[in-house]
Structure 1
Amino acid sequence: MMSEIPYEKIVNEDYIGKEINPINQQEIYKLAQQYSSDIIKDFKDEGINLLIVDPQRDFIDIEKGALPVKNAADDLKRIIRFIYDNISRLSSIYVTLDTHRYDSIFHSIMWRDYNNNPIPPFTEITLEKIENDEIIAVYDEDIQIDYIKKLKQQNSQNLMIWPYHCIYGSDGWLIDKQLSNMLLFFEASRKNYVNKILKGQDNFSEMYGVIRPEVRTEYTKEYDISWVYDIGNADKIYICGEAKDYCVYESVKQFCEVYCNDRDVTETINVMMNCSSAIGDNEECDKKYEELSKEHGIKLINI
């Protein structure tokens, strides 16, 4: 039956990562209504949940994205096809959205060098640089320096200055438009809402993983993570998205931490390795996943 659903009327792969969407989304709703009864009739609840991490234009659009990840468009093609091929098998889909303010602690506006110039993107902020007056906190010195100290105390990675990205409500914050088309079709044909989870709204803490910020402070909000226990009830959890070495890795790691005493859950996690790409060294990134796999029993798969 799946072969009868016209994929090309839902998704135009040539426009993945592009600003323009050549497909009228109202037509997708009409198409979903046409096929809904057959898709629902064929649905077999196999307990399969899909988590897509940060599939947003700032990470996907190579030309205009603020922080484009190389090969992300190819990742999206496979993710979209996975949803299409399994539309009658997927129980639920969860999508996280990196959601920031321009005056976030990892943006240039918050830091200056000794010549009063903004700190450029991809600079690491360390306690040593601050103590040597190479980098100066310009918003709230006590809060910012305390944050850097806490990162060092808990042996976390250094604070990285990123380009302004995924600013709430901006074009770069939006889900890639071709994936959005497929998610609309899934929702309307299956009568099953796609769970969208905002993360990273705090301007005084980085939040790579979907469950908790890098550092908890009195200024960071409490995130509703009830969905983590809902998704944990699945027979199989598939995880993909961007970027493999930051938000996807930290999300998988945090899931493993939540369920560290329950391998019945961690062994259901399938990381879709060819549906996610790294910003940095891919081989080093893969080694970290292999360590998680050995420790918690997560599966590293290609689809």
Structure 2
Amino acid sequence: MSLAKLTIPEHFNPEKVGEVWRVSYADRAREARLWAQQHQISRSCEDRVRVGLLLIDVQNTFCIPGFELFVAGRSGNGAVEDNRRLCEFIYRHLHILTDVIPTMDTHRAMQIFHPVFWINDSGEHPAPMSNLELADIEAGKWRINPEVLPNLPTAIDPQAYAFHYVRELTRDSKYPLTIWPYHALLGGISHALVSAVEEACFFHSIARYSATEYEMKGNNPLTENYSVLQPEVLTNANGEAIAQRNIELVDRLLNYDLLLVAGQAKSHCVAWTLNDLCDEIRSRDRKLARKVYLLEDCTSAVVVPGQVDFTDLADETFTRCAELGMHRVRSIDPIETWEGISEGLC
């Protein structure tokens, strides 16, 4: 298999990566077939070495300036810069990418991390970006809003579940329950994949006859789902299952000969997905870590100047992944310089 870079199609405009627009599917489909013929690109089903590209939550809500949870990184424009490099990487290495697997953070208004889910004695909802600590719940400062109960998929004891849920988060030493702005709402523009990335995925799909494998996550109103591989809390206060790990996705990802990972945010959904993936690898075979490549210049941490900066915590996660055997690489470096890549592809 040739590792030589391909040319970037003429339609790609790096200046538009931070904008929202309609992909011209008919034009891109026609161009993709001609481009594949020009570069003698085979169908993905013929790949001897199967390469998966996992794109974690590359959606407008996280990646477009002005949207609800834009991941700025330390540069102030992190997600946009990441996606420029990501699109260029997809186009230049389309011939070796068997599948693209974008995950989609998928929410509705009445979910446990949105303001309307909680209420105090004054009828107020918690402010976006505030944290609900266990002590707040125990003191009765916040309780589950009774008006949301008829909309839940299963009946719960709201007081018991509130205590149980926040205790579970505290016990696992993760972040406290964060109340996020309404974001990634199903059917809304913030939920959609970034236009330039969607275009690249569609182009890949047509050029290689490879269906883009969209993976929805985060739509259970009773639990958060930072990790792509499993929700944060899996049971109710009685120990009954309310959610489960996505074993089917785990198996699919670890079945690739090589797995590349990018997306947003490095400090949250990417980091927690990698933590869960590392746990799976430890339980199965530590050698599996060697086929995972982390595209470090296609992901950024959550940074709010003067308030929070999760960059160092994100880097600690990537360091632990590297210690297990995963590779930290940059998309802009020649792929043949990546450690172990030649042996993996040839």
Common topology (TM > 0.5) = yes
The separation in 2 between residues aligned to 1:24 and 1:138, in whole angstroms, is 43
Give the deviation of 1:62 after TM superposition.
0.6
Q: Report the CA distance shift for 1:291/1:86 in structure 2 as closer, same or farther (over 3 A).
A: same
Counterpart residue type for residue 114 of structure 2 = H
Q: Report the CA distance shift for 1:3/1:210 in structure 2 as closer, same or farther (over 3 A).
A: closer
Gaps of 5+ in 1: none
The separation in 1 between residues aligned to 2:171 and 2:71, in whole angstroms, is 30
Counterpart residue type for residue 243 of structure 1 = A
Q: Deviations over 1:66-120 (max 9, x none)?
A: 1111110111111111111111111221110001111010000112345332101
Give the deviation of 1:214 after TM superposition.
0.4
* Corresponding residue for residue 25 of structure 1: 25
Where do residues 87-106 of structure 1 align in structure 2 (5 Å cutoff)? 87-106=94-113
Indicate conservation of the 8 Å contact 1:92/1:194, yes or no: yes
* Corresponding residue for residue 289 of structure 1: 318
**Residue 266 of structure 1 aligns to a residue in which SS?**
helix
* Corresponding residue for residue 344 of structure 2: none
The separation in 1 between residues aligned to 2:168 and 2:111, in whole angstroms, is 17
Match of 1:75 among 60, 63, 82: 82
Counterpart residue type for residue 160 of structure 2 = D
Q: Report the CA distance shift for 1:220/1:15 in structure 2 as closer, same or farther (over 3 A).
A: farther
**Residue 205 of structure 1 aligns to a residue in which SS?**
coil
Match of 2:296 among 273, 278, 292: 273
Gaps of 5+ in 2: 73-77, 147-157, 303-308, 332-346
Counterpart residue type for residue 174 of structure 1 = A
Aligned-pair identity (%): 23
Where do residues 60-209 of structure 1 align in structure 2 (5 Å cutoff)? 60-63=63-66, 65-70=67-72, 71-139=78-146, 140-209=158-227
Task: Tell me the TM-score normalised to structure 2 length.
Answer: 0.80
Q: Deviations over 1:107-140 (max 9, x none)?
A: 0011234533210111111111122333333243
Give the deviation of 1:145 after TM superposition.
2.4
Task: Tell me the TM-score normalised to structure 1 length.
Answer: 0.91
Give the deviation of 1:47 after TM superposition.
2.9
Indicate conservation of the 8 Å contact 1:45/1:89, yes or no: no
Range 264-273 or range 171-180, more displaced: 264-273
* Corresponding residue for residue 251 of structure 1: 273
Q: Deviations over 1:1-44 (max 9, x none)?
A: 988856231x22222131224x5221001111223342217975
Match of 1:232 among 254, 266, 277: 254
The separation in 2 between residues aligned to 1:105 and 1:76, in whole angstroms, is 30
CA RMSD of superposed structures (Å) = 2.2
Q: Report the CA distance shift for 1:146/1:86 in structure 2 as closer, same or farther (over 3 A).
A: same
Give the deviation of 1:257 after TM superposition.
1.1
- Give the paired residue count: 299
The separation in 1 between residues aligned to 2:109 and 2:130, in whole angstroms, is 17
**Residue 41 of structure 2 aligns to a residue in which SS?**
helix
2:47 matches 1:40: no
Counterpart residue type for residue 102 of structure 1 = A
The separation in 1 between residues aligned to 2:252 and 2:8, in whole angstroms, is 32
The separation in 2 between residues aligned to 1:82 and 1:19, in whole angstroms, is 20
**Residue 90 of structure 1 aligns to a residue in which SS?**
coil
**Residue 267 of structure 1 aligns to a residue in which SS?**
helix
